[in-house]
Chains A and B, each alone.
Chain A
Amino acid sequence: MTTTESAQPVAASVRPPAGSRRTPAAHGERPLRLVVVTTVTVAILALVAWPIVAALLGSLHDWNPLNGTYRWVGTANYRRLFADPVFWTSSVNTVVFMAGAIIGRVVLGMALAYAVHSSLTRVRTLHRTLLYLPTVTPLVAVAYVWRLMYNPQFGAVNSILGLDVNWLYDSRFALPAVMVMTIWKDFGFGVILYLAGLYALPADVLEAAQVDGAGAWARFRRVIWPMLRPTTLFVVVTSMIGYLQAFVQVFVLTDGGPGDSTSLLPYLIYQQAFVKYNFGYASAAAFVLFVATAALTVLSFRAQRGPWRGKAQ
């Protein structure tokens, strides 16, 4: 940077006052800015905006690309959807699955992050590496590993627990089994985020609490939990968006069965579209999922602004 040394004070003196909306050196920016803004806009329009409009339009049609049907039917797909017991089972399953997986991720994530944070420095990296490993491995492959683990004949789950349960073919256990696999796969993300949150905490606050004689639980309850609220919000919102779209684990582990006991909304959409070729019906279900996702996301951010925020910020 030797060549810039003489120029730097000059640059600093011509620098516009803070908060100015003008850029310091506008020359040459324009072409690059134009290319990027145009590309991003075109990509969003072509790959996101138009598909959403097309899905909405498609949901109002009897639509089968196999035989070329595309016939206006108004709200018939939605009426059929809301009268379909599989839709309601799938919706309840989706909510149960999402709630269980989020609670697992938050509880395990925070507890283990707190444990790793308080553990010996020497082993911290090792634990962090191991706990995050399932999160960074391909979902399709680990879902197969778990399918084999749940095998009633030779699977590790029954061998270790000394049970004789057909996990994936018993409607009482199939959804919990899918949830356990998902929690195992994803809790590491919670650990990493909470660890980052813990490192960002001001050390003096924790020390002050310790000096004041607060026990481990009181420190957690009164100091750490409230101060980690922004992290919790982030984990909850991203998990919600993610788990409302969970598909691969159901596809690999159970195919929605036995019965409809593990059918989640994305699985129903996939089935209707690419197995039964009811694109209109599937689009209606997809649009309901879209509205639900948007509503839940908005609600969570509202909640943050409300009582959630507390003293953390």
Chain B
Amino acid sequence: MRRRIASICLNTGLLAVSAVTIFPFVWMLMSSFKNADEIASVDQHLLPRVWTLANYRSIQEHFDVVRLFGNSLLLSVAITGIAVYTSLLGGYVFGKYRFRGRGPLFALVLATMMIPWAVVLIPRYTMFTGAGLQDSYASIIIPAAISSFGIFLMRQSMDNVPDEVLEAARIDGASELYIFHRIVAPLSVNAISALAIFQFLWVWEDYLWPYLMLTTPSKQVLAVGLTTFSGQYSTDYGGLFAATTVSIIPVVIVYVIFQKRFVAGAASAAVKG
């Protein structure tokens, strides 16, 4: 009996914490459908009394949110594809090949994860502007094309690829690239999905670098558009609710669909580390 009560208390408590955790999302979503009077009202209710899409129409008029959404999507998908591929390749070479200098070089890869962005930001900024890459997507893609974290995560997952299978394939005369694409990649699908979601989120939320590099407003990404919009129309709270909803919802959907693999991927980075 005592255990039953304890269990009920525990589960109710957890439910309350989960509710508090997602409350900001619910509040944002509901507020994005309220009209200006209701948003500014002192007497607040969670559900809108009058549902309206005016806020969503207003952000599209003020800044081309569809365009910026497309830019973010394009960059996120492209960088995720490139970074996952290079990470898998790096993870394979560092995880399965034995060669001189492997240890020190991998340690160096790990060490770069600890470098604060603030240190490399200014020199990178002068390098990329000096090379005439400002306002080009190359400036966004190049620094993200190789990921230390990705190589690290993929190397961890190489334990799932048995050496015997690789040896057998080699004896059968398979080329290294064939082995990589047909054996290593399919066996790493969990790690690939985890890294893909992480990477997608990082590009999607990256703010400062695109803000510094992209100067043409129509080329800009959604995260930067959000801050620009907020600065220019700082009293259009309804618009801000709608704009943040637009920039959060896609990520939430991707997360909810893939959450199992994502959680496993996040955990594996630490447990085996």
Binding site for A on B (CB under 8 A): 7, 10-11, 13-15, 17-18, 21-25, 27-28, 31, 39-42, 44, 86, 89-90, 93-94, 97-99, 101, 105, 108-109, 112-127, 129, 143, 145-146, 151, 163-172, 175-177, 180, 197, 201, 204-205, 207-208, 212, 223, 226-227, 230, 237, 240-241, 243-244, 247-248, 251-252, 255-256, 259-260, 262-263, 266-268, 270-271, 273
Contact = CB atoms under 8 A, between A and B. Distances in A.
Could you tell me the dominant secondary structure of chain B's interface residues?
helix
Contact of A245 (B14, B27, B99, B117): B117
20 contacts: A28-B175, A48-B112, A119-B11, A120-B7, A123-B15, A131-B17, A137-B248, A141-B248, A144-B230, A144-B244, A145-B24, A148-B31, A148-B240, A151-B237, A156-B24, A193-B266, A231-B270, A241-B116, A244-B116, A286-B121
Among B28, B180, B260, find the residue whose CB has the most chain A CB atoms closer than 10 A: B28
A52 B114 CA distance: 12
A33 B223 contact: no
B206 to A, nearest CB: 9
A145 to B, nearest CB: 5
B109 A40 contact: yes
Contact of A141 (B176, B212, B223): B223
A263 to B, nearest CB: 13
The 4 A-B pairs of least Cβ separation, nearest first, read A196-B267, A138-B205, A54-B123, A51-B123
Interface in A250-281: 251-252, 265-266, 269-270, 273-274, 279
A3 interface: yes
Contacts of B98: 21-23
B259 A195 contact: no
A159 B43 CA distance: 8
Contacts of B18: 126-127, 130-131
Contacts of B247: 138, 140-141
A294 to B, nearest CB: 7
Nearest to A298: B114
Interface stretch (A10-18, A98-106, A165-173): A10-18
